[in-house]
Structure 1
Amino acid sequence: MISRSLSPADRFLVETQRALETVFGQPPASRPNPAADTPEVELDAAERRHAAGLMRINHVGEVCAQGLYFGQAAVARDDETRTHLLAAAQEETDHLAWCADRLRELHSRPSLFNPLWYSGSYALGALAGLRGDGWSLGFVVETERQVEAHLDEHLQTLPEADLRSRDILQVMKADEARHADHAEQAGARRLPQPIPSLMAAASKFMKTVAYRL
């Protein structure tokens, strides 16, 4: 948790380090990879490309989640809200590491636009947080519900033989649902339209680009 006694320069350095670790580093997971004991199955070229595209989307989603949570935590007014956001961010770090591992196994790479995805999400998180902790938590709920929905879609469209990706996504889906539930219990405000629709449109654009790039 960031102490309120940190100077503006210290805060800038902390946030810069977080951004660099998320976008360019390899932050370690705090939990074992859910697919660790699942045997690898040979996929044909088309199946491997499709699985890699889906896992790249999910990796981008975790980059965005880190940006959103860190942006919100940086301006949170309540210490309990900040702690809640940073705890959720740690679980998202696990997801980020697992998706990166799976991309390497599929002989693929993260999105080329991760710096853009992170910076945009950080700015959105900070703007939401400046409106107040209730609004900030409302963004958490809406984001996690939308992520939960697209993970459901990916679980349906993954190559049937790709059990390793499937194991990872199932744990991620359960975590995202829990994050949304906790944010609701912590006092999240319901976001009015058109905010959820705009978030969904931005997510669709991101997924379209990240699948290939």
Structure 2
Amino acid sequence: MIDNAVIEFDKVLRTLFCRAPTIREVPGRGLPEAPLSAAEKKHAGALMRVNHVGEICAQALYQGQAMTCRNPEVRQALEQAGREETEHLAWTERRIEELGGRKSRLNPVWYAGALSFGVVAGKLGEGWNLGFLAETERQVEAHLDGHLSRLPEADTRSQAVVRQMKLDEKEHADMAVRLGARELPGPVKTAMRLAARVMTSTAYYL
């Protein structure tokens, strides 16, 4: 029990305070850096900060869901998806640095909130747990699609990162459906969208 607690706490510390590792090549790495104006770089950096916050939340969400999941197969799938999301964390972190931006000052707050949601989702049972995961990934996919239209047209490096993240999020949503995700009620989906809107609008500045 204590060993598991130490392992889970170590995940929190690594996510929040350590440089995320990446095994896959960073999308767009071979593309030239565009000559962006100061305003464009600031805007692109803020959008990538929002995406980085989303990945912070993804790490916490998957961790919370896996901690309370009773089905070994589902738990393994959640843990694997969490490891894959670490790549996104690394990509967005590196892109923020390249744009001269910074990560959100509220990352510990975002992490705590998402972890709580994940724990609750896991306790609701396998179908609802997976349903929450699938809906989260669908909303993230839509959010990333919006960012593709908002990024500076010349910033192809950021666009490449976001496109690959979008593809990966769809795979995770499809995985959840294959494993038996239940469709969430409309009011729950709406509440999730409203919470995400608060997070993204705040993270853009903080």
Query: Would the TM-score normalized by the shorter structure come out above 0.5?
Result: yes
**1:82 partner amino acid:** R
Report matched runs for 1:1-213 at 5 Å. 8-213=1-206
**1:5 aligned residue:** none
Deviation at 1:194, TM superposition (A): 1.5
Secondary structure at the aligned position of 1:32 is classed as coil
Secondary structure at the aligned position of 2:180 is classed as coil
TM-score by length of 1: 0.95
Deviations 1:101-145 (A, max 9, x none): 000001111100000101110110010000111111111111000
Question: Structure 1 runs of 4+ off > 2 angstroms?
Answer: none
Q: In terms of mean alpha carbon deviation, does 106-115 or 27-36 score higher?
A: 27-36
Q: In terms of mean alpha carbon deviation, does 62-71 or 22-31 score higher?
A: 22-31
Give the length in aligned residue pairs. 206
Q: Structure 2: how far apart are the matches of 1:37 and 1:83?
A: 34
Deviation at 1:193, TM superposition (A): 2.9
Question: Unaligned 5+ residue runs, structure 2?
Answer: none
Deviations 1:36-88 (A, max 9, x none): 11111121011011101110000000000000001000111111101110111
Q: Structure 1: how far apart are the matches of 2:63 and 2:90?
A: 17
Secondary structure at the aligned position of 2:195 is classed as helix
Q: Structure 1: how far apart are the matches of 2:68 and 2:79?
A: 12
**1:138 partner amino acid:** G
Deviations 1:156-186 (A, max 9, x none): 1100010100000000000000100110010
TM-score by length of 2: 0.98
Deviation at 1:189, TM superposition (A): 0.9
Q: Structure 2: how far apart are the matches of 1:105 and 1:60?
A: 17
Q: Percent identity?
A: 50
